[in-house]
Homo-oligomer: A and B are copies of this chain.
Amino acid sequence: MILIGVFDSPFVRRVAVSLGVLGLPFEHRDWSTGRDAAQIRQYNPLGRVPTLVLDSEEVLFESSVVLDYLDQTVGAARALLPASGIERRQALQLVALATGAADKAVSMVYERVYRPEDKRHAPWLERCTVQIDSALTALEAHCIQRKDHDWLVGERMTQADMTVACCCTFATDAVPFDLAPYPALAARVARYEALPVFQQFHVAFDAPATT
């Protein structure tokens, strides 16, 4: 299968890290949503990444849809989201907090990338900042509560761990956002980012070129 999208997107990266953790091989096309929008739209009408092209030529997009497919492929015992119950809900809520913060971080980057300076609007950036701060505060509280546990949910790595790390790293690389006010979260993200599978799929943030 072929994964389309640059690893500096937290949504592409959480798919790449998941593929790595699950040991599923893939080809990579590092097409940018700015520069390569037309090429991406040949596979995904929305022009968004990640887009995953299966060997059958079936195309999947939206990172949550791709991750659902990967979990179904490997089966419940190896799936990165718990199959049901409170652990599934907890993992999904952490994912929602992290991806929600990343959405707002993307909005802040888009403000720079897709607008001339006189069209940028400080109150909008402030609104996004408040939302990101609130999400990080909630993640910090969860990390403090889980300080004696290696992973955010249960006793093994789940999608919550991967998504929280990818989204926080994106916010710090791209906005840039400072994790210092969230020390338990920052320490956990640093620990995850030191793992080989996270390093393998990290690239320096490069704002999308619009031409």
Contacts and interface: CB of A to CB of B under 8 A. Distances in A.
A137 B46 CA distance: 10
Interface string A85-105: 100110011011101110010
Interface in A7-32: none
Contacts of A65: 89, 92-93, 95-96
B114 A46 contact: no
B88 A72 contact: yes
How would you classify the secondary structure of chain A's contact residues: helix, strand, loop or mixed? helix
Contact-residue bracket for chain A: 35 or more
Interface in A75-132: 84-85, 88-89, 92-93, 95-97, 99-101, 104, 114-116, 119-121, 123-124, 127, 130-131
B115 A121 contact: yes
Contacts of A115: 121, 124
9 nearest A-B pairs in the assembled complex, by CB-CB distance: A45-B134, A62-B96, A45-B138, A46-B100, A119-B121, A65-B92, A115-B121, A45-B135, A114-B124
Given A62-B99, A62-B100, 16 more contacts: A41-B134, A45-B97, A45-B134, A45-B135, A46-B104, A46-B131, A46-B134, A48-B100, A61-B96, A65-B89, A72-B85, A72-B88, A114-B121, A114-B123, A119-B120, A119-B121
27 contacts: A45-B134, A45-B138, A46-B96, A46-B101, A46-B134, A46-B135, A48-B100, A48-B131, A58-B89, A60-B89, A61-B96, A62-B92, A62-B96, A64-B64, A65-B89, A65-B92, A65-B95, A68-B92, A69-B89, A72-B85, A72-B88, A114-B123, A114-B127, A115-B124, A116-B121, A119-B119, A119-B120
